[in-house]
Structure formats: C-alpha cells, structure tokens
Amino acid sequence: MGTIIKGKEIANKYKKEISDFVENRKKEFKRVPCISTILVGNDAGSMLYAKNQKRICEQLGLKYILNTFEENTKEKEIIDNIERLNSDNNVDGIILMLPLPKHLNEKYITSKISYKKDIDGLTDINTGMFYKGEKCFIPCTPKGIVKLIESTGINIEGKNAVVVGRSNIVGKPIAHLLLNKNATVTICHSKTKNLKEVCKSADILIAAIGKPNFINEEFVKKGAVVIDVGTNRVEGKVVGDVYFEKVINKADYVTPVPGGVGAMTTTMLMLNTCEALNRNVY
C-alpha cells in the first residue's frame, strides 16, 4: 500500500513559518501582512473560500478585509474599489473571488488588479512574467502541488509527469512549474487518445479534470506519485478525480480529498501575501 500525502500536516509547516514572520514583525512594531478580498454576489463556493481565508488569517495573525458587493453591482463600482486598494499602502494582497456574476467582464476587472498585489497570480502581467520565468506570484494551487510532490523526497528532475487537465488555473501552470523543475511533461485533455496508456507512463500524475473517481488503478504506473486536484460532490460527499481506495494500492504516494491539495492552497495564498509585503516597500 502506498503512502498518503497529508496536505494538512505539510500546510502546518508553512503556517508556522508565516506565523513566525508575523510575530517577528509585531515585535519590531511593524504592520502585519494584509489581504483584501472582493466578493460580488452570493456564489456558495466563493463565500466558503472567503470564510476560510478569514479563519486562517486570524489563526496566523494576518489582517483580513472582506469587501462585499450585491449581485447587481455595476462594473465601475468594483473597479473603483480595486483601484482604491491598489493605492492603499496598508494592503499587500488583493483577491477577486471568481466566478463573477454574468453581467460583469471577469477578465477586464481582473486586469485592473495591480500585479504587485496579485497574490492569486491571475492578471495578464503576472501570467506573462510567470511563463517568461521572471519573478512573480506563483498561482497558489500549482505552488502547493509542487511542495506536496517535494515533500515525498523524490527528485522531480528527469521524471515523466502527466497532467490531466489544461485549465489556466491549474493544468497549464503546474505543467510549467514541473518543466522548470526539469521534468518531462505531457498535458492531456478530453481529446487525448490512449489516455490510460499516457497516464501509465507517468512517474508523477496530476489529476485536474473535475470528473469524480475517474482515475483508477488502470491509469497508474506502479510506484507513481499521484496528486488529486479534483473536488467533486457525489451523494453529499466530497471526492476527488482519483479513485483513492484503488489507486493507493498501486501508487507510492497519493493525496487524499479532502485533506490534500486543498489544504495547501489557502496557505500558499498567505505565503504569497508575506512575499508581497517583503517585495513592496512602502
């Protein structure tokens, strides 16, 4: 049987680093890192994520500000708020909760966030810097995935990595990060032929397709590291894209859902906020 990669335990190590950073600033009578989140409407997932952000900020000593807007809020009002936060030297990170209501231009509004405060790594400037290999904010979920893989002690360099899913949020950036670690990377998607065979070539398999229990033992090479990014609701339970009970008997390492990748994402957001404070001298 393989080993479970316990995301919560690994996240706690980074939380300790963040907490120590905040405490040291307090001792030096310096302000603590501050996140300002923008929430438009009543999307259940966004509301839950914002609540989780607040809880962890309070736990680690960061300042958290939630800006809420009604579902029918006009675009200009949200952009005015973003520009105010951009110029506020007491705010280090800005998060725009997505998806936005349909009448709003998501891409345009996101582009108004200063890349210096784009701790989610969503702006075009930050994305361009990321793919050019320049210093920037690394998107939180891919950043957490790399740290989970590294926690196993395996050397990513030279490994065959397969990413199932090509989203701009997870699939493409994690492929880029693994390339930067000198892995040989294949990106798969709905049009990929012989998907099982491609996946079975992977030393590192990343599942990010949004299909519950899709990746079973037939997709997995013996001894592989399997990272499950999926979050799906099935009969009231949260399950991943990986059929955990079957894959754990074949892979060397597997992340659970919940308690794996998700546990790292918000922690990486806090880590990016601390980096923002260090980079931007006010």
Binding residues for NADP(+): 165-167, 231
* Separation of CA 278 from chain center: 21
Return d(Cα 276, Cα 39) in angstroms, integer: 21
Residue (of 66, 60, 69, 79) closest to 36 by Cα position: 66
Instruction: List the binding residues.
Output: 165-167, 231
Residues 173 and 130: beta-carbon distance below 8 Å: yes
Q: Are 174 and 130 in contact (CB under 8 A)?
A: no
35 forms beta bridges with: 64, 93
Q: Report d(CA 271, CA 31) in Å as an integer.
A: 16
Residue 37 region by backbone torsions, left for phi larger than 0, else alpha for psi between -120 and 50, else beta: beta
Q: Closest Cα to residue 146, out of 227, 208, 203? A: 227
